[in-house]
Structure 1
């Protein structure tokens, strides 16, 4: 299951200080039922045990900071880990990689608000490479598909993307060489194809390894270029449009109803109508400038400080809808993905935790 989740939300896309992926257990355990939650506590674990789940997916990592000791007598996290191990359960987390992926946390929030034409509010950048490799004509497809299968050549909704240009490669092998084409100690000219494709940084080593393994030459020639492109496949936040324009009061009611909010904080903006809406599930205050620059009428996120509201006042309708409240809908997206992965396998059930792990109460 982990490899399917990682194909959608690769750990390499996460914030570099995050701790995503396997938290406790084994990826090789035979899958039974699956429990989904934003964070793991004793209530979630007990429900997972009752429903015979041996795989728990969490958004917030169970282990975020390094554990210095496992003290099952006094430390709640240590006690939880003990119970997880005793019950042969695997815990897996997708945190900022789920935040930054298409159809992840912010996209799920945007869809809950029924936004149209959803895209990233701010794309990640400088995390892609271009790989160029020189291949004899008759081996080009073999090498290309090896690269594609390792993760190269994905641009937005397209995969297997490459550019190809013909040329002539020259070489002269030493007495110790073993050339695939031509003879050693002989200057050779060969019709070759230059294959180029974009690779996300976390797939780079796998792609190069696949290319070298598939390449017929003893010493393949290839180039690797760091790109400054914006990555269309990964980013932060989301932005889209409402089906119809709403007044500010109508939009505030709309947000409360669609996100099932008891209350929320907001500051006024200069616009009397709301059409273009930016969102970021969880703590997204750092994207305020991006939302304003994108000419969004409103920006919905969580954990907003007083001075951030001051910066937004009169410029954009800034709404703090709550951390839990803006992330919980992502579990629906995860459930949909997992059930798609499982296909017709009816022996495995996927459950969302029936309670709430939100520590915040409203008076």
Structure 2
């Protein structure tokens, strides 16, 4: 029996390795001018002693990381959303930053809810309420380059192999599939992208076209110039925008059957085990088409209204947004705690596939500061 060796050894996994893997898998989003995702405290060159996955950063979470020997904390909610004029112990954010620096902790904010990975908490909530025929509220757009060059027939195979080994993909008509799975390759495994049925017209030269991921562009161009048999290489590089329809922000789908608004609200409270929710007035229309965004979804409201979606489940909404949606869609704010259901487990599963020999833990500290009185 062959046992697959782990990609990283215990002594070689740095925080930078983990960050690179996460950002390759998940598109980070920042809705404000302040950096609310990525590394906010710490040194990415440190070797990982353990990873703690939390929803929020509090002093008790930092204490748990220290106690369990984890020097890297991946968190969902930013420690601060406004620039810090001072880092002082009189403020919550200041105390957390000071403690993290003092104990050599690195904090990474993964503010996305993994929707762009196609397995986020929006998808989890959609599964709980049994949405069918799901697709993103806003599909993901990928910027790629198309590289065209000319090569004598005898050097064609060598050039294709050389470029594919550093991340290029021999161009096909199905750019969407390429965009959805594309990443910089470093080994011969990337040759599986080369179509054995690709047809190239031969004359004195063959014309070859490749799809080039943005992060790999410079390396691919350098390889082209080195591997091409001509001293002066002719090539053309153009940008291509590709819409990947099956991944993106949020989820839209249809209920198995239409439900009156009153029963729909009871239905989602039961399915999502909610103690409370906020919503707009009823507008006497059955609910069939439902959108979900597991995060602050106010920025998606105009898109939801434009698509005439019957109900929109999200959180972090402002009073003015309830006014805007009233009578147009059933707008439902279920609270941050509900929209982060299972998030730590999802991040753990994502990391464990790649880093199977380092300590990765879900935080045990309860961080939700919001409580409600239930009659």
Please, what TM-score do these two structures have when normalized by structure 1? 0.77
1:83 equivalent among 99, 102, 116: 99
Written as runs of structure 1 = structure 2, the 5 A alignment for 1:104-119 is 104-119=120-135
State the Cα RMSD in Å.
3.3
What are the ranges of 5 or more consecutive residues in structure 2 without an aligned counterpart? 1-17, 170-174, 184-189
Written as runs of structure 1 = structure 2, the 5 A alignment for 1:57-206 is 57-62=74-79, 64-71=81-88, 73-96=89-112, 98=114, 100-125=116-141, 127-136=142-151, 137-138=156-157, 139-148=159-168, 154-156=178-180, 166=200, 191-197=205-211, 199=213, 204=214, 206=215
What are the ranges of 5 or more consecutive residues in structure 1 without an aligned counterpart? 169-188
More strand by share: 1
Instruction: Please tell me whether the aligned partners of residues 212 and 220 of structure 1 are also in contact (alpha carbons under 8 angstroms).
Output: no
Q: Matched residues in 2 for 1:270 and 1:220: separation? A: 65
Instruction: Please tell me whether the aligned partners of residues 78 and 109 of structure 2 are also in contact (alpha carbons under 8 angstroms).
Output: yes
Instruction: Please tell me whether the aligned partners of residues 241 and 277 of structure 1 are also in contact (alpha carbons under 8 angstroms).
Output: yes
Report how many residues are paired: 330
2:266 equivalent among 253, 265, 286: 253
**1:141-177 residue CA offsets vs partner (Å, 9 max, x unmatched):** 321332249xx97333688768977467xxxxxxxxx
Q: Given the superposition, is the C-alpha separation of residues 16 and 310 from structure 1 closer, same or farther in structure 2, using an over 3 Å criterion?
A: closer
2:369 equivalent among 355, 359, 362: 359
Moved more, 154-163 or 222-231: 154-163
SS in 1 for 2:322: helix
Moved more, 272-281 or 62-71: 62-71
1:56 equivalent among 66, 73, 84: 73
Structure 1 position 302, deviation (Å): 1.6
Q: Given the superposition, is the C-alpha separation of residues 158 and 229 from structure 1 closer, same or farther in structure 2, using an over 3 Å criterion?
A: closer
Q: Matched residues in 1 for 2:82 and 2:60: separation? A: 22
